[in-house]
Structure 1
Amino acid sequence: MTTYTLQSDLQLARQLADMADVISMDRFRAADLDVSMKPDMTHVTDADKAVEAAIRGALHDSRPDDSVLGEEAGEEAGSDGSHRQWIVDPIDGTANYVRGVPVWASLISLAIDGVPAVGVVSAPALGKRWWGATGLGAFVDESLGSPTTTSERRIHVSRVADIADASMSCSGLIRWEQAGKLKEFLSLARRVWRTRDYGDMWPYMMVAEGLVDIAGEFDLKPWDMAALVPIVQEAGGRFSSVAGEPGPWHGSAIATNGLLHDAVLDAVR
């Protein structure tokens, strides 16, 4: 089995994001966009399917031993004993994509032994891309799609240490209610300085950039979270489930600047 460096895996993930952006932007706001509903009553478009198929094809050629887990086509096993899994959400925020709202992204991650080690979040309609890998830092490019300029920079979470001074973006009020946590959510919301729901992947990337201090939600799948984890953590933050469990495997997420994490978990538990 071939051994790869995280640097080469990150480079590949960014190349996959380049490919995804071309496909997704070509279909964004297209008059003939094909939209249907999945059994879980979420949208899927021809763009979702095309992006994931293209990424899977590229991974089959470049990382044939690795397994792949994607939102649209499920899990594809790699070679026996492979401890590397690519986790793909071809378009996170498909409901926004369908309505023409530019807050959506392709999420690409590599988990090693179940721990996300590489993450790329590419939001071409916003002109932004974030990425990170264990030990390699977290970065943003705010000139995505520009042929003449680049604005890559390293990012870091905020230093806000008091919940009363915190900006919070916890999405899906109904999901907090369905999880039996509405009382806790509202109590926390009353304690922070500011609450806004920016939606989908964006609040977590704002945490990584130091623009928001707390983000979280329920009813998530691994492909919704895996790419976010290394970016938030490499920016100096923390990422867990609402119960404090590490990783993207537990159906919920809390991301903070780290300084606030224990206090937030205590509040929502």
Structure 2
Amino acid sequence: MIPVSPLDDLELALRMGDIADHITGPRFRALDLRVREKPDRTPVTDADTAVETAVREALRSARPHDSFAGEETGGSVTEGRTWLVDPIDGTKNFLRGVPVWATLIALLQDGRPTVGVISAPALYSRWWAAAGRGAWLRRGPAGSAPLPLRVSARKSLADAYLSTTSTRTWDVFHSRAAYLRLAEECWEDRAFGDFLQHCMVAEGTLDIAAEPVVNPWDIAAVQVLVTESGGACTDLRGGTPQGGTGALSANPQLHRLALKVLSTAAGPGTT
């Protein structure tokens, strides 16, 4: 197999983002949008499945030796190179007409994210990063100049702006009490949710993003974005977020402080 450069992989991921945008854009707020409920009671739309199928086929053509794992059509992370795709992160927003949703595309090499693209066409925004190449944001139409990203420099939880996805999930997967303790120590908290909060950490407009449960396709793209912007992105115990046991993004100092607070949880379901 011919070696592929990180920039070639990034360029491919950006092209996959274009493919996704061409599908999701016309289906957003479409009157004939089809929605069904998956066994875990989360919704999936015809746009989700169309994006994942199109991206999977395009990647199979461009990188036939790579593995693929997606939220809707399955697959698993293997040794070597695996592409991860979340066709629409924020499906509930998408089907309700809320513009906060995005396609997430990431490349894992031996389990480590090396390329990430987060494309949010309804927000006119696209974030991307590659290992050793920095993190970037393009806001506006294609062709707009990208901006380099850097996490905030705040040092104290008392000055930190915190976000999560849903406080209800903390009851099930970690500890609502632990999250509320963290919120009480921070300057302010909101629920920007999903991909957006981690992207905002990478931008430096938000200081901490914390959620108690993630899937690999939820976190891989934003993990490399946060890391390349100078931050840390781990699970709630300081390990890899690929294991599903939550995600915590922040600058290194706030990350250490937030981990300490969250570690006081007694266990899942603690209130």
TM interval, shorter chain, is over 0.9
Correspondence for 2:146 among 145, 152, 174? 152
Correspondence for 2:208 among 200, 211, 214? 214
Distance in 2, matches of 1:77 and 1:209, equals: 28
**1:179-212 residue CA offsets vs partner (Å, 9 max, x unmatched):** 3411111111111111011121100000000000
1:55 aligns with 2:55: yes
Q: How many residues are matched?
A: 263
- Write out aligned runs for 1:74-113 (5 A): 74-75=74-75, 83-113=80-110
- Residues 43 and 91 in structure 2, CA contact (< 8 A), matched pair in contact too: yes
Correspondence for 1:117 among 114, 117, 132? 114
* Deviation of 1:28 (Å): 0.5
SS at match of 1:125: helix
Length-normalised TM-score, structure 2: 0.94
- Residues 119 and 131 in structure 1, CA contact (< 8 A), matched pair in contact too: yes
**1:71-112 residue CA offsets vs partner (Å, 9 max, x unmatched):** 00100788xxx6000000000000000000000000000000
- Residues 96 and 102 in structure 1, CA contact (< 8 A), matched pair in contact too: yes
Match of 1:139 in 2: 136
Q: Which runs of 5+ in 1 are unaligned?
A: none
Distance in 2, matches of 1:44 and 1:31, equals: 16
Match of 1:10 in 2: 10
* Deviation of 1:247 (Å): 3.8
Distance in 2, matches of 1:179 and 1:189, equals: 17
* Deviation of 1:220 (Å): 1.4
- Write out aligned runs for 1:229-248 (5 A): 229-248=223-242
- Write out aligned runs for 1:10-49 (5 A): 10-49=10-49
**1:38-80 residue CA offsets vs partner (Å, 9 max, x unmatched):** 00100101100000000001001100000000000100788xx
1:173 aligns with 2:170: no
Distance in 2, matches of 1:110 and 1:202, equals: 19
In the alignment, residue 23 of structure 1 is paired with which amino acid?
I
Match of 1:253 in 2: 247
In the alignment, residue 239 of structure 1 is paired with which amino acid?
C
- Residues 130 and 205 in structure 1, CA contact (< 8 A), matched pair in contact too: yes
- Residues 161 and 259 in structure 1, CA contact (< 8 A), matched pair in contact too: yes
**Higher-helix-fraction structure:** 2
Calculate percent identity across the aligned residue pairs.
44
Q: Pairwise CA RMSD of aligned residues?
A: 1.3
Relative to structure 2, which stretch is displaced further, 169-178 or 246-255? Answer: 246-255
Moved over 4 A (4+): none
